Chain A
Amino acid sequence: MTVSPEDVRHIARLARLELTDEEVEQFRRELSTILAYVEKLEELEAGSAAEPERPDQPLREDTLAEWPDVVPLHEAAPDFEAGFFRVPRVIE
Chain B
Amino acid sequence: MITMAKHLLKKFAKLNGKKLSEGFFLLAVSLLIIPAVFLSDILLAKENGGVLILNSNESVKKYSQIQTVFKANFDGVTAETDIGSNWLDEKPVEKSIRDMNPDIIFSIGSKAYILASKIANNTKIIYSLGINWQRFAITEKTYVVASEVPPMTNVMMYRYFFPEIKTVGILYSKKHNKEWFSSVVADSEQVGIKIIGKAITKNKEVGNALNDLLSTVDAFWLISDPVVLSGMEYVKEIFTRCDAMKIPVFSYDHLFTNFGASFIISTDIDTMGKQAAKIAQYLQSNKDPVGKIQNPAGTYIAINTKKLEQYGIKLNIKALSSVNEFIE
Judge: A and B partners, yes or no: no
